[in-house]
Structure 1
Amino acid sequence: MAAAEKALWYIESHFREDLSLADIARIACVSPYHLARLFQATTGWSVVRYMRARRLTEAAYLLAAGASDILDVALTSGYGSHEAFTRAFRDQFGITPDELRQRGHVSGLVLVDPLRAADMPTIALETPRIELGPTQLVAGLGCRYSDATTQGIPAQWQRLMLSLQGFSIAGKTAFGVFCNSDDEGSYEYIAGYDVSSFSGLNPAWSTIRLPARHYVVATHRGHISAIRRTWQTFTGSWLPESGLDVADAPDFERYAADFNADTGTGTVEIWVPLKS
């Protein structure tokens, strides 16, 4: 079972409980960081938004059926007070719990019923390898994305090229680093290059230090537009079945010397950190 499917099953079985992203990630056998990205890429929802929508949808069914006590519905839906529940309910559906109970039906509400993971087709993946990665300093442009907005990444690389005045990329390796994620499924993506020091760089650039550690590395070949399928197969299918313990730390794409930025073809390696 793929990681996103495991996460969906666990959410559906426990969404009335006080679940954390870490709780669900443990069941899915991936790190919270990777689950946040994988879940949104697979379902179109962040984990937190989906859990909230499922709780409130089930609450709406109870209220429309004539639940006698709104506070009881609030508590069983994971909310600590009538006020917090009413606020969240109104934000989700545009009406209050009491208004829905009086109306007695859910027609016209945008409800969120259980999802089935619509995984992208898996691909033939070259057997990943374990490698001890050295300490890397990476500098470049950082932007924040969710998996629904990653179409902006190519334009980010264009902006990086325009900001390279006085910075030579000869002999340097290009990196795309995914870091600083949140529970809503957004993360920072740094498009950049390896540097020997952070001193004297463009002050508008973002920087990150990737410490020496073990990684599991998958290889993507072909056009860069298909790399999402490689990510899906690697982190959504192969990795959860591998028995490896993934660290909750930045992962990255490392662009090989044969990668052609003009045509978008060549080799890209996906490095996912492992726990020590």
Structure 2
Amino acid sequence: MNIIESAIWQVESNLRTLMSLEAIADRIGVTPAYLTRAFTLVTGHSLMRYARARRLSEAARILALGVPDILNLALDMGYGSHEAFTRAFRDHFGITPETVRDGRSTAKLELTEPLAMDKPLELSLAAPLIEQRSALRLAGLIKTFPMKEIATIPALWPAFDAVQDLIADRVSPPRYFGASLSFSEERGCEYMAALEVTSFAAQPKEINTATVPAATYAIFRQPGHITLMRPTIMSIWQDWLQNSGYQAAEAPLIEYYPPEFDGQTGNGGFEIWLPVRQS
């Protein structure tokens, strides 16, 4: 069982416990930051938002059976009071627990079902190159995407295209990178669309800058279409990583777009640079 499957198992087997991110990570044997990043990259969901949605969906099903005592249900689901449970339930579904109980139905609710970890597409990824790379100076646009908006990250690239001509001191030929700079359950994913540059000194105020520290990377070349980005990352995390003798290091995940990549058609291939360390 890999890290993602283990996290889902912890959620499903503890639906009536308000487990913290730290508690789930501790049971799996990884850090909270590592688990947050891995779960989001593979599933496209926030782990704690998923856990909350699953717990409240289970509660909604019980309420629809006509449970008479909502306080006892609240306590049984790990909430400290009727008020805390009602607030969480209303924030998530837009109606009160009493409404669901009295209506004896969940038909109008958007319930969250258990995540099924589908087998990644049969990708013919070549074995990665394991290489030490020096620090990257990147200039472009940085935006923090809340966990519920992770799927909208590609929308940053058109905004980057509109300002990229302002970027000074770019490496020649141009080297385009996407960098997932950080992941946090509270803040989301801090993502950067960027060009590599030799200096930050002449960058205009409209341009964000970041330095990605030197790291050892497993570099995967994907010759296919850009829509293979998610399946490629899933294959790396679910298949290669757990059998490789390496662990993902807590450093930015890098997307590299080579000169032959066509941003208009999505053709030309790309690379995923996964920072790693020996297990």
| TM-score band w.r.t. shorter chain | 0.7 to 0.9
1:255–1:269 Cα contact (<8 Å) kept: yes
Residues 95 and 174 (structure 1), Cα distance of their counterparts in 2 relative to 1, 3 Å cut: closer
Shift of 1:107: 3.8
Q: Which runs of 5+ in 2 are unaligned?
A: none
Q: Does 1:92 align with 2:92?
A: yes
Name the structure 1 match of 2:153: 150
In structure 2, which of residues 34, 38, 41 is the aligned counterpart of residue 34 of structure 1? Answer: 38
Residues 245 and 2 (structure 1), Cα distance of their counterparts in 2 relative to 1, 3 Å cut: closer
Three-state SS of the structure 1 residue aligned to 2:72 is helix
Q: 5 Å matches for 1:1-276? A: 3-21=3-21, 24=24, 27=28, 31-40=35-44, 45-145=45-145, 146-164=149-167, 166-183=168-185, 186-261=188-263, 264-275=266-277
**Letter paired with 1:55:** R
Q: Return the structure number with greater relative CO, CA threshold 8 A, min gap 6.
A: 1
Q: TM-score, normalised by structure 1?
A: 0.82
Aligned identity (percent) is 37
1:132–1:213 Cα contact (<8 Å) kept: yes
CA RMSD of superposed structures (Å): 3.0
Distance 2:71 2:243 in 1: 42
Shift of 1:169: 4.5
Distance 2:205 2:218 in 1: 32
**Letter paired with 1:36:** T
Deviates more, 1:263-272 or 1:31-40: 263-272
1:47–1:185 Cα contact (<8 Å) kept: no
Distance 1:112 1:228 in 2: 21
**Letter paired with 1:232:** M
Q: Which runs of 5+ in 1 are unaligned?
A: none
**Letter paired with 2:240:** W
Shift of 1:252: 0.6
Matched residue count: 271
2:129–2:219 Cα contact (<8 Å) kept: yes
Shift of 1:140: 1.1
Deviates more, 1:230-239 or 1:177-186: 177-186
Residues 248 and 231 (structure 1), Cα distance of their counterparts in 2 relative to 1, 3 Å cut: same
**Letter paired with 1:117:** M
Residues 264 and 19 (structure 1), Cα distance of their counterparts in 2 relative to 1, 3 Å cut: same
1:122–1:229 Cα contact (<8 Å) kept: no
